[in-house]
Amino acid sequence: MNDTVMLLLYGILAYIIGSIPSGLIIGKTFFNTDVRLYGSKNIGATNTYRVIGIKAALPVFLCDTAKGAIGVLLFSSVGPMYMILGGILAMIGHNWSIFLEFKGGRGVATGLGVLIALSPLVALICFTVWGIIVYFTKIVSLGSIVAAALVPFMMYFTNESLWFIGFGGVAALFVIIRHKDNISRLLAGKELKVERVKKGD
């Protein structure tokens, strides 16, 4: 197998792994609940928490995070440019899943997994900022948008490579664009908080 074919196969695998709808699988398999029918109707950990609770949300968060890290690690022997590509492909898979008719989540947990694999220190800083914002506001989207925007700056201030700084900028733009509806609701004061909802809501 030549290098080009290997890279192509790794890229496809990173996308497919990213496409695995953890929230939908865990919700339906273990809790007989399709999280797409309730709350924000998103398949991510936040809406899973709203609909089912922490017992489902935590494994969804861990699985979605792992998808991003695996996307990066598939290319770990090739170089930073391809590691970043693998992470981005995993994020694309999560957001536009081949298993969900190219629909999906917001890419935050998967992006965190990419960040952990690329720069654990930056991941820790941004996750801490996210946690503080969510703790005080109970609005996950606000924490996600701010934390994502911080990534390229933290990459720069921690002396990471230009490749990683560039990834930070692309990932930040990626997450912010995926949150455009949330931004509209935030500006209107109508954004959902991270609190449990009744399945009939």
Read off the pLDDT of residues 50-76 as tens digits, 9 standing for 90 and up. Answer: 999 999 999 999 999 999 999 999 999
DSSP H stretches of helix in 32-79: 45-51, 54-73
Query: Quick one: DSSP state of residue 35?
Result: G
First to last CA, the chain: 52
**H/E segment holding residue 148:** helix 140-157
How far, in Å, CA of 24 to CA of 161, rounded?
36
Which pLDDT band holds residue 3 (cuts at 50, 70, 90)? confident
**pTM of this structure:** 0.91
Which pLDDT band holds residue 200 (cuts at 50, 70, 90)? low
Question: Comparing C-alpha atoms, which of 84, 63, 74 is closest to residue 19?
Answer: 63
The per-residue pLDDT of the chain, averaged, comes to 92
Which pLDDT band holds residue 190 (cuts at 50, 70, 90)? confident
Region 89-93: what's the mean pLDDT?
95
Higher pLDDT, 157 or 1: 157
**With the CA atoms of 132, 138, 144 and 145 taken in that order, what torsion angle do they form, in degrees rounded to the nearest 10?**
-100
Strand-pairing partners, residue 97, are 103
How far, in Å, CA of 57 to CA of 86, rounded?
25
Sign of CA dihedral 103, 169, 154, 113: positive
Which pLDDT band holds residue 174 (cuts at 50, 70, 90)? confident
Region 8-24: what's the mean pLDDT?
97
- Residue 128 pLDDT: 97
Residue 91 CB neighbour total at 10 angstroms: 31
User: What are the tens digits of pLDDT across the range 147-170?
Assistant: 999 999 999 999 999 999 999 999
Q: Tell me how far the alpha carbon of residue 147 is from its chain's centroid.
A: 12
Q: Tell me how far the alpha carbon of residue 104 is from its chain's centroid.
A: 10
- Residue 1 pLDDT: 67
How far, in Å, CA of 57 to CA of 171, rounded?
23
- Residue 92 pLDDT: 94
- Residue 198 pLDDT: 63
Q: Does 199 score more than 70 pLDDT?
A: no
User: What are the tens digits of pLDDT across the range 96-142?
Assistant: 999 999 998 888 999 999 999 999 999 999 999 999 999 999 999 99
Residue 197 CB neighbour total at 10 angstroms: 14
Quick one: what percent of the chain has pLDDT higher than 70?
97
Phi first, then psi: give them for residue 3, nearest 5 degrees.
-65, -40
